[in-house]
């Protein structure tokens, strides 16, 4: 058999090549079926190495038996790998049969049998295992290109199985054996290539399914998703983002410049970029973006930087949540909260105003008596003035609490703010709750918005009132506190001097779950509550550069501890200018426009008593008519009036007299 040696050597070389290919695949993908298939080709290499030795030694019996054992091992690993590939479990009967045939192969080594008897069980099992592999591949529930590859591979294994069955009869024929080995090597190569193709088809199918699933996840997400280049050009986006920004499809977003076309204020984006320069993850950054139609949308951005292999930033990816409706809802709910608070204040305020009006009415009556002593009349007028000033102060406090506009922060004293607010807070919480203020030392200056501090005090007092339905004590303490490095690190703030405000109640307290969610928006333990009171406090404190802690346990009351950075810089406090001395300007002509008759008549009398020449008007239209015959040196006008308000009146009169001095007055 001169061609037998080269044929067996070719089969060995083919198996070595297959082993190397599968070893590479295994280094990339550690799937179980690849491990088993690699083991099968390793056993195949050992089998053909034994065949080469057998041919060299002219059919050494011991080598032939070892060769057959490796053939069994190769078939077993190949069958196991295929079942793992098709996600099926190999029956225990197969393991028993393989073990039995392997035992037979060892037995015939010690008890020689005719060639047919020795090889028939082994190669019948090898053929049957090939048929089982073909059946498993054929029945695999796949479609398309993957199904075609699986069925072609199944046909290869059927042919290989038939060829294995002819081994006991054809191997002894000298002229046939070389061709048998060559044909077997070709079939093994086809089987190996087929299993590799099946593996890649499966990967392609899984990748396609995964891509489709994740693409659907992105496409169907209710939140906007995007990726951009390092310079801010949109590379990809989902339909939700396109809808959020008013575009028909994501294709219209591609190549838009974020800073120029999306951000309402490019400077805001620059600030965010600078703030996040040293971090890769952004969570919940708020921004205002611009829609295609020019309308603004408020969003929360959750994103991250994408870095290349060398660490450079190659892009950004993010998720955008439309917060516009929630922002509007919070504004409306806060306004409702403010109105509810004012409604609760109304009862206490009505009592105070009734007392003040009693003083005013009694004093006016006494002053109007002709026979009353002059000293009594003077004292009554002083009481009237004092009551009116107290009423005006109370009105200013209520207006401060009710305003919704943002005010510019400046230097304020937290201690003064607490003392000043105590009266209003007392009316809010009711007579059953005693308010105690402790301002220890001072001054306690911070750089903050006074109206926001009032809002914090109002919300904390309302929370304390709800926690003490049967009354108790509400204590407001202001003192100084300097945080060391360790405590500052624990609290997540800078180590520096702070002004500390503590608001303590004797209420029912909070359990751990309530404490954990106390500052969450819309979380409330009250049936009629909105859940925004403490969330508003938290937001105001953070916006003011401060920090807030909550200390509470069931049955032991609650203490809110707020730290505001103490302002010790060179800023000058803004103090009210001292009232100037009244002086009259004889001959000065004043045009007074006021729609409320009582107020208008009072102003006119005061001005005339001071020596001014006054012309009254009930609104802007009347004032313009009066101005034609009255050459006024000064216009004193209400802001809001019927027919024509103060600003319109000012503009109308200044068309003919551009340098006319104007003073606006308003009850608001």
DSSP state of 222: S
Where do we find the tokens 């008549």?
A: 601
- What's the rounded Cα separation, in Å, for the pair 89 and 81? 10
Confidence of residue 578 (pLDDT cuts 50, 70, 90): very low
Which residues, at least 6 apart from 557, have a Cβ–Cβ distance to it below 8 Å? Answer: 467, 504, 505, 506, 507, 509
- What's the rounded Cα separation, in Å, for the pair 28 and 35? 11
The sign one gets for the Cα dihedral 483, 489, 493, 495 is: positive
Using the predicted structure, report yes or no on whether residue 75 has a pLDDT greater than 50.
yes
Range name among 153-162, 349-358, 442-451 with the lowest pLDDT average: 349-358
**Peptide bond preceding 443: is omega within 30 degrees of 0, i.e. cis?**
yes
The CA radius of gyration of the chain, in Å to the nearest whole number, is: 46
What is the model's pLDDT at position 579?
45
Using the predicted structure, report yes or no on whether residue 405 has a pLDDT greater than 50.
no
What is the model's pLDDT at position 609?
82
What is the model's pLDDT at position 521?
62
What is the model's pLDDT at position 286?
85
Percent share of the chain, pLDDT over 90: 21
Cβ atoms 349, 427 nearer than 8 A: yes
- Tell me what the mean pLDDT of segment 486-511 comes to: 87
What is the model's pLDDT at position 177?
67
Using the predicted structure, report yes or no on whether residue 577 has a pLDDT greater than 50.
no
Q: What is the pLDDT of residues 537-565, one digit of tens each?
A: 887 888 788 888 989 888 889 999 999 99
Cβ atoms 171, 119 nearer than 8 A: yes
pLDDT, mean over the chain: 81
Confidence of residue 474 (pLDDT cuts 50, 70, 90): very high
Q: What is the DSSP string of 581-637?
A: PP---TT-EEEEE-S-HHHHHHHHHHHHHTT-EEEEESSHHHHHHHHTT---SEEEE
Strand partners, 566: 446
Confidence of residue 370 (pLDDT cuts 50, 70, 90): low
Q: What is the pLDDT of residues 621-663, one digit of tens each?
A: 999 999 989 999 999 999 888 889 899 999 999 999 999 999 9
340, two tokens: 């509810």
Where do we find the tokens 């290989």?
A: 160
Using the predicted structure, report yes or no on whether residue 355 has a pLDDT greater than 70.
no
Whether the predicted model's global pTM rises above the 0.85 cut: no
- What's the rounded Cα separation, in Å, for the pair 128 and 108? 21
Q: Give the SS3 label for residue 528.
A: coil
Looking at per-residue pLDDT, the higher value among 571 and 654 belongs to 654
Cβ atoms 317, 226 nearer than 8 A: yes
Q: By CB neighbour count within 10 A (0-12 exposed, 13-18 middle, 19+ buried), where does 353 fall?
A: middle
Confidence of residue 331 (pLDDT cuts 50, 70, 90): confident
What is the model's pLDDT at position 369?
65
Domains of the chain: 4-212 (1.20.1070), 224-322 (3.30.450.20), 327-405 (1.10.287), 409-569 (3.30.565.10), 589-665 (3.40.50.2300)
Strand partners, 503: 476, 560
208, two tokens: 């396609």
Q: How many CB atoms lie within 10 A of CB 535?
A: 21
97, two tokens: 């049969």
- What's the rounded Cα separation, in Å, for the pair 462 and 377? 43
Using the predicted structure, report yes or no on whether residue 1 has a pLDDT greater than 50.
no
- Tell me what the mean pLDDT of segment 61-70 comes to: 77
Using the predicted structure, report yes or no on whether residue 584 has a pLDDT greater than 80.
no
What is the model's pLDDT at position 393?
64
Using the predicted structure, report yes or no on whether residue 7 has a pLDDT greater than 70.
no
Range name among 46-50, 129-133, 368-372, 559-563 with the lowest pLDDT average: 368-372
Q: What is the pLDDT of residues 79-114, one digit of tens each?
A: 999 999 888 999 999 999 999 999 988 888 788 878
153, two tokens: 């591979």
Using the predicted structure, report yes or no on whether residue 467 has a pLDDT greater than 50.
yes
Cβ atoms 522, 330 nearer than 8 A: no
Which residues, at least 6 apart from 197, have a Cβ–Cβ distance to it below 8 Å? Answer: 149, 153
DSSP state of 278: T
Q: What is the pLDDT of residues 268-311, one digit of tens each?
A: 888 787 777 777 888 888 889 999 888 889 999 998 989 888 88
**637-646 residues labelled b (16+ CB within 10 A) or e (exposed):** bbeebeebbb
Q: What is the DSSP string of 451-515?
A: HHHHHHHHHHHHHHHHH-TT-EEEEEEEEEEE--HHHHHHHTS-SSEEEEEEEEE-S----HHHH
Cβ atoms 36, 90 nearer than 8 A: no
Where do we find the tokens 């209710």?
A: 222
Q: By CB neighbour count within 10 A (0-12 exposed, 13-18 middle, 19+ buried), where does 329 fall?
A: middle
Residue 643 to residues 172, 252, 510, 653: CA-CA distances in angstroms? Answer: 121, 49, 55, 16
What is the model's pLDDT at position 354?
66
- What's the rounded Cα separation, in Å, for the pair 509 and 528? 19
Looking at per-residue pLDDT, the higher value among 479 and 587 belongs to 479
Cβ atoms 18, 40 nearer than 8 A: no
């Amino acid at each position: 058999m001169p061609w037998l040696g080269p044929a067996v050597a070719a089969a060995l070389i083919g198996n070595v090549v297959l082993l190397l290919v599968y070893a590479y695949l295994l280094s990339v993908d550690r799937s179980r079926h690849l491990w088993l298939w690699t083991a099968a080709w390793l056993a195949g290499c050992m089998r053909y190495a034994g065949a080469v030795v057998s041919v060299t030694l002219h059919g050494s019996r011991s080598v032939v038996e070892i060769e057959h054992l490796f053939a069994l091992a190769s078939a077993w690993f190949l069958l196991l790998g295929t079942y793992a590939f098709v996600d099926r479990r190999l029956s225990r009967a197969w393991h028993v049969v393989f073990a039995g045939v392997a035992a037979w192969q060892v037995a015939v080594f010690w008890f020689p049998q005719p060639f047919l008897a020795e090889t028939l069980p082994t190669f019948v099992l090898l053929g049957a295992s090939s048929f089982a592999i073909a059946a498993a591949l054929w029945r695999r529930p796949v479609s398309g290109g993957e199904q075609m590859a699986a069925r072609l591979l199944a046909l290869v294994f059927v042919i290989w199985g038939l060829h294995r069955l002819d081994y006991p009869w054809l191997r002894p024929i000298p002229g046939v054996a070389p061709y048998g080995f060559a044909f077997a090597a070709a079939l093994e190569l086809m089987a190996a290539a087929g299993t590799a193709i099946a593996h890649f088809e499966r990967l392609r199918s899984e990748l396609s399914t995964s891509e489709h699933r994740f693409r659907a996840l992105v496409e169907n997400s209710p939140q906007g998703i995007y990726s951009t280049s390092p310079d801010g050009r949109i590379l990809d986006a989902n339909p939700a983002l396109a809808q959020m920004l008013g575009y028909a499809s994501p294709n219209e977003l591609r190549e838009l410049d974020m800073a120029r076309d999306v951000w309402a204020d490019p400077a805001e984006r620059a600030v965010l970029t600078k703030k996040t320069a040293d971090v890769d993850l952004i969570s919940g950054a708020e921004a205002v973006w611009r829609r295609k139609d020019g309308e603004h949308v408020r969003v929360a951005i959750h994103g991250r930087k994408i870095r290349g292999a060398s660490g450079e930033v190659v892009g950004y990816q993010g998720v955008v949540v439309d917060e516009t409706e929630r922002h509007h809802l919070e504004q409306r709910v806060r306004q409702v909260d403010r109105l509810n608070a004012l409604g609760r204040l109304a009862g206490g305020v009505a009592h105070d105003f009734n007392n003040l009006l009693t003083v005013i009415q009694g004093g006016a009556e006494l002053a109007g008596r002709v026979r009353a002593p002059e000293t009594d009349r003077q004292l009554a007028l002083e009481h009237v003035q004092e009551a009116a000033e107290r009423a005006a102060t109370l009105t200013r406090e209520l207006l401060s609490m009710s305003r919704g506009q943002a005010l510019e922060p400046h230097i304020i004293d937290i201690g003064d703010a607490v003392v000043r607010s105590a009266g209003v807070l007392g009316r809010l919480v009711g007579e059953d709750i005693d308010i105690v203020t402790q301002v220890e030392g001072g001054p306690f200056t911070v750089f903050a918005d006074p109206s926001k501090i009032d809002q914090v005090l109002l919300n904390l007092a309302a929370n304390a009132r709800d926690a003490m339905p049967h009354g108790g004590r509400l204590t407001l303490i202001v003192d100084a506190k300097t945080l060391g490095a360790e405590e500052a690190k624990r609290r997540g703030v800078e180590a520096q001097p702070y002004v500390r405000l503590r608001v303590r109640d004797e209420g029912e307290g909070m359990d751990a779950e309530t404490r954990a969610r106390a500052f969450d928006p819309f979380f409330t333990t009250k049936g009629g509550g909105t859940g925004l009171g403490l969330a508003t406090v938290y937001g105001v404190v953070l916006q003011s550069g401060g920090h807030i802690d909550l200390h509470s346990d069931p049955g032991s009351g609650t203490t809110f501890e707020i730290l505001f950075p103490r302002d010790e810089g060179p800023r000058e406090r803004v103090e009210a200018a001292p009232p100037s001395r009244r002086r009259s300007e004889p001959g000065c002509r004043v045009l007074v426009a006021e729609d409320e008759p009582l107020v208008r008549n009072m102003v006119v009398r005061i001005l005339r008593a001071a020596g001014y020449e006054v012309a009254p008007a009930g609104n802007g239209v009347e004032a313009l008519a009066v101005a034609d015959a009255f050459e006024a040196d000064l216009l004193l006008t209400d802001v809001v009036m019927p027919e024509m308000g103060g600003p319109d009146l000012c503009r109308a009169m200044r068309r003919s007299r551009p340098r006319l001095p104007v003073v606006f007055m308003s009850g608001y």
